Amino acid sequence: MNMTGKSGYFVDLFDIFPRMASGVWHPFVTVALLRNPLKGQVILHEQQNNVILLLDTTSQALHRLILPSEEFTLKKTAWWNKEEAETYKMCKEFARKNWLVFYKEKGNTLAVLDVLEGRTHTTSLPINLQTVFLVAEDKWLLVESKTHQKYLLTKPAHIESEDSRVCQLYVLKEELPSTGFAVTQETDFSIPHKISSHQLSSENLSSAVGQKIASPNRKLSDENSYATVVVGFPDLMSPSEVYSWKRPTSLHKSRVTDTFYGGKKKIGTPKQSNCVTLLDTNQIGFCPQEKSLRKMLSLHK
């Protein structure tokens, strides 16, 4: 849809991503909108079979993109296969600059795709990935699959940096404030649902933490907190201050019910957390999977 006009486009992709009537396989497609000079073109990524498509909404032309790494080879999963399906993810935080990052859950490779130039490069890691957040163009937050240990990967800001492709991986240590007498609280550090790729303005940051401050920062949400502001992250290598707005109860045990065609139901954890960060208005918006209710949290002290 053209947000500045009155026109929209409709493309039927049923033949590309059929939703089986038996409810055996439900495709889960992530969409990334490209910008000038590729405005009007969209990347579609299916998480289970790792299909990557480039759709031109004007001409309705559809092209399949293939990543070179073996880890990202197109997968075909039979419906009778009882083994746990592999999941592939697309990071689209900088799709507006026409590049994206792909990875496989529990894999150890990151693939960067420059759609405009038609080039890719891969980065091999010493850890297996649970999730990836592009908190800046040249700084990515990685979460390890088994321990949920968090790492900060610093790398060249763009794929064209031929002579400086050296990446550095830093371990991030999370510490809780002491409750006194050298006693610390015990808790499980959770995986963020969403992290902003840009920082709050100094005015909004000061309003959120209740003091006048100017510092790099990122805003996130997870299962234990409606919102968290990390001051100093990711640009400063010194310890960061963390301000959180806690949930009354954790979302860790939340379950959702998915109704298939034919009336059958399946209960399990949601495939994706619906959360969006609104930096200009100092808000985080989220929609709980178990309720048809949208909530908005304003960050002010």
Per-residue pLDDT of the chain (301 residues; tens, 9 = 90+): 666 777 777 777 777 876 665 556 678 899 999 999 999 899 999 998 899 999 998 888 999 998 886 666 655 555 445 456 789 999 999 999 999 999 999 999 999 999 999 999 899 999 999 999 999 999 999 999 999 999 999 987 655 544 456 789 999 998 876 555 554 454 556 789 889 999 999 999 999 899 999 999 999 988 888 889 999 999 998 899 999 988 888 776 555 555 444 445 555 555 566 666 665 565 666 555 444 334 555 666 6
Inside any domain, residue 7: no
Inside any domain, residue 226: yes
Inside any domain, residue 223: yes
Read off the amino acid at residue 267: I
Q: Which two tokens stand for residue 97?
A: 């600059």
Inside any domain, residue 251: yes
Inside any domain, residue 41: no
Query: Does residue 143 contact residue 127 with C-beta atoms inside 8 Å?
Result: no
Inside any domain, residue 77: no
Inside any domain, residue 268: yes
Tell me, rounded to whole angstroms, the distance of Cα 275 from its chain centroid: 10
Cα dihedral 120, 121, 124, 128 sign? negative
Give the structural domain span for 239: 183-301
Burial (CB count within 10 angstroms: exposed 0-12, middle 13-18, buried 19+), residue 206: middle
Read off the amino acid at residue 241: E
Burial (CB count within 10 angstroms: exposed 0-12, middle 13-18, buried 19+), residue 37: exposed
Distance (Å, rounded) from C-alpha 148 to C-alpha 190? 8
Query: How many independent structural domains does the chain possess?
Result: 1
The alpha carbons of the chain give a radius of gyration, in whole angstroms, of 21
Distance (Å, rounded) from C-alpha 38 to C-alpha 99? 11
Taking alpha carbons only, the member of 114, 100, 130 closest to residue 32 is 100
